[in-house]
A and B are shown apart, each in its own frame.
Chain A
Amino acid sequence: MAEKKKTSKSVKATKPVNTAKTVKTTKTEKPVKTKKTVRTIKAEKPVKTKKIVRTTRAVKSVKTVKETKLVETPKTTKVIYDVDAYSPPQIAARLDAVAGVKAKDSAANTFLLGVNAGAFIALGAQFATLVISDSGLHAGLTAVVGAIVFCLGLIMVVVGGAELFTGNCMIFIGYLDKRITTRRIVDHWTISLIGNFVGSLLVVFLVYKAQQFSFYDYVVGGKALLIANKKVNLTFTSAFSKAVLCNAMVCMAVWVCFSARNVADKIMTLIFPIGGFVASGFEHLVANMYFIPMGIILKSKPEVVAAAEKMAGKTLDLSNLTWKGFIVINQFPVFLGNVFGGVALAGVAFWFIYLRPRLNFTFTIKEDFKKDTLS
């Protein structure tokens, strides 16, 4: 044990000679304002290797073990773990760069990708409706199963490429970082929102024409009607707070996805936040663009209403299930809540933590940490 410790300590002293008192070179161009960072560290060409050199660094450290085995200078260790996933500061930087690219896309592309996103979410929503329509499991487990299948929509959005309004709240990071002008971000949000609505209505039309509501003696349609009716009978506060929570979780899902390098990572990281918000019954603006119009159309089918009443065990008051109820009672508070949740709780918070100007967060923290624990 002791021997091992010794060797590991000697590793750090790669070039001990000239490191009597070096100012730590920070990664930013702006030379440091933190007086704390003046410290004895081996400043072995730190700058050029910082980005992608996961493997190189590992190799290098192995070599130095052999070479400098006998040198003994107690210094801080420099261990770089070779992790595939991106670290949170890198996620923030990536998100920032992607936001710049996304917002500069042409209007036609943004609109069509928005239609795609709306259609994908609607496909996920109809899948969830069908699966939970008459589950024999208890309410909680049914919600979980429905939530996992609902991930269909988000998986297609994230992997296949689409502009989902709620997820796009995250590009506010790029705006705060001055990569995007106000006009661009407003345009981008508006166009993708309209596209989402068009895409959802397209799927509502196709699913209605496919007569999915008639499955299993109209139970599927009845379930869709019940879901929609519940959503248009929320109070403003309840809809707003559910929407805030929803989009905070959607944006967290986008955030963790940006840590992933391959598709399996993306899918597995998505399932938990997305499944979580669906199972908890939070309000997603774009999903509601499928659920409620579907309910409004199905209201005119007497068989569906009968099935829904049989499932609910009472007569239903469907008076709020109209286009007016859709816009005023549901979409308006949910829109505000989603924007607040996405922009404030996810966008601004992460920007403040990782991308605040002139804060060399990563490296300062790292050195402090090592100093405290190892000395």
Chain B
Amino acid sequence: MSDQDKKEEKSISSATQLANTPFIDIDAYAPKMMANRVGQVGISKANMGFLTTLALSILAGVFIALGAQLMMMVTHTATSSFGLNALVGGVTFTMALVLIVITGAELFTGNCLIAMSFFAGKITSGDLSRNLIIAFIGNLIGALSIVFWIYISAQWTAHNHLLGAKIVIAANDKVNLTFGVAFARGVLCNVLVCLGIWLCYSARNNLDKVLSLLWPISCLIACGFEHCVVNMWLIPMGLILKGNRFVMEAVERVNGGPLDVTNLTCGKGFIVDNLIPVVLGNLFGGIILVAGVYWFVFLRTPKK
């Protein structure tokens, strides 16, 4: 006991009293507080009304689709190297997540963090799955609406149909993944999305939020990981453009030969080969690897 006292005295004298207070007086939230914040936000999100959630998730789908088309636009004819081109695409795509985080839209992948409130016992599994399902449907509607507008706008004819060709090739790559590969890419993707959003909970101002999103989000796009909401825009876009003769000619020019697009279909290609493994991977990465781990570390009630 006296030993303890001595230690305490010593530490006070050597570090001055500053040592005992200062790390409370900091602008950014510490991880423990971030976890509390996420837990509270999760409760309010899970209790939001059906129509509000749906509208916000449609917005999120729209934002992601806009980010994805921007990424396609800036990368489709780059002469710089593969890695740098991917990096530029990733950085521009961050726009989507910036819009979502700052305007508070409901993104299916990011909402996996709500699972922290579920693990903490604040909401039921029904609340969690209700929110995720509404978000999923809303995201799908939003992404498909942008598919419609982009198609009507004929933006894909840009650069002598090369943009359309790039979209078809990217979509075709995505529907030809094996289950394991798509699952692993989905896991890595949503780990990064959820970590980006997790970092945002440390921030108090928008600059903080943008900077903390920039690295994780550009990483997941540059590295080609599978984000289910991005795919909801990209693959339907590819499905539509597949029918266009000029686009397919551009694909042949880029590819150096005819491209096998037989698997680029709505049922088997889009839903079975891509969406199902990617959604499972996204759920596993977000709910278990991020929300679960941070719940265990910061919010679990310690056993006596």
Identify the A interface with B (CB < 8 A): 27-30, 50-52, 86, 89-90, 92-94, 96-98, 100, 106, 108-109, 112-113, 115-116, 119-120, 123-124, 126-127, 130-137, 145, 149, 151-152, 155-156, 159-161, 177-179, 203, 206-207, 209-212, 215-216, 219-220, 260-264, 266-268, 355-358, 362
Contact = CB atoms under 8 A, between A and B. Distances in A.
B7 A179 contact: yes
A262 B208 contact: yes
A33 to B, nearest CB: 13
Contacts of A126: 223
17 contacts: A89-B16, A93-B15, A93-B18, A93-B22, A126-B223, A127-B223, A130-B83, A134-B83, A135-B84, A152-B216, A161-B31, A178-B11, A207-B188, A210-B181, A261-B25, A268-B211, A355-B15
Q: Is the interface of A mostly helix, strand, loop or mixed?
A: helix
Contacts of A29: 12-13
Q: Is the interface of B mostly helix, strand, loop or mixed?
A: helix
Question: Interface size class for chain B?
Answer: 35 or more
A203 B223 CA distance: 13
Given A137-B84, A151-B215, A209-B184, A357 B16 contact: no
A211 B81 CA distance: 20
B293 interface: yes
A161 to B, nearest CB: 3
Contacts of B208: 262-264
Interface in B201-220: 202-205, 207-209, 211-212, 215-216, 218-219
A109 B191 CA distance: 19
A362 B83 CA distance: 48
A355 B17 CA distance: 12
A109 B224 CA distance: 32
Interface stretch (B192-200, B239-247, B249-257): B192-200
A140 B183 CA distance: 36
B21 interface: yes
A179 B13 CA distance: 12
Contacts of A268: 211
B87 A145 contact: yes
Given A149-B215, A216-B82, A206 B14 contact: no
Contacts of B262: none
A50 B219 CA distance: 44
Contacts of B20: 97
